[in-house]
Amino acid sequence: MPTLTSRAKQVDRRPMSLAEKLYLPAIFKGMAITMIHVFKKKATINYPEQKRPFSPVFRGLHILNRDEEGRERCTACGLCAVACPAEAITMEGAERQPGEEHLYREEKYAAKYEINMLRCIFCGLCEEACPKDAIYLSETFAPSNFNRASFIYGKEELRIPHPKEDPEGYKKALGNRAKK
Ligand code: SF4
Ligand code: SF4
């Protein structure tokens, strides 16, 4: 009789023995496999309570950096957007006004800065391209969400906490960079 695949198996139609009818050998075999795995090292962890250590080259969620005074470093030069192979970055530049020196480090700043996390491939080229150390990829995951619009991260989501107002948050966001 022709078969569809070479993996077809002949069904065993012999009458079952008494032990097979009681299912006992199969149950004991299953229990033995379970007991072996109880004492084995677990392959899974209790995420999010437990987390695996990141690789030193892990690239996670972007952070828009500030300097030690808390001023935004980004000058809206656009180099990160040009370097981005996924065209995920958009921005609008603005000129710093007198009295805003404590907010922005240089004369020009990004009034709007957005990254579309659905486009981003976390390649890190934006970080490489930035001459101002204004953007970097942190050790944080991009959180999941239910609608597409929520994946467009603006300045509010990307900006690092203020080093003077929230020193703990600032240090945490810096991660390994704080130790450099
Ligand atoms: S990590 Fe890569 S893909 Fe993502 S925004 Fe930066 S340059 Fe674009
Ligand atoms: S993040 Fe860096 S490269 Fe991108 S616009 Fe700002 S200063 Fe320029």
Evaluate if residue 81 carries a pLDDT over 80: yes
96 half-sphere exposure, CB direction, 13 A CA radius: 18
Tokens matching residue 5: 């695949």
Closest Cα to atom 4, ligand 2: which residue?
80
User: What is the per-residue pLDDT across 28-68, written as a single tens digit (0 to 9) for each?
Assistant: 999 999 999 999 998 899 988 998 888 888 899 999 999 99
- Strand pairing partners for 116? 152
For domain 62-179, give the CATH number.
3.30.70.3270
User: Does the beta carbon of 78 sit less than 6 angstroms from any atom of ligand 2?
Assistant: yes
Amino acid at the residue 55: S
- Answer whether 86's CB lies under 8 Å from 121's CB: yes
Note if the pTM is more than 0.85. Answer: no
136 vs 26: CA distance, rounded Å: 56
d(CA 51, CA 61): 16
The residue whose CA is least distant from atom 2 of ligand 1 is 123
pLDDT digits (tens, 9 = 90+) for 118-132: 999 999 999 999 999
Q: Where are the domains of the chain?
A: 62-179
Q: Nearest residue CA, atom 6 of ligand 1?
A: 126
pLDDT of residue 143 exceeding 80 = no
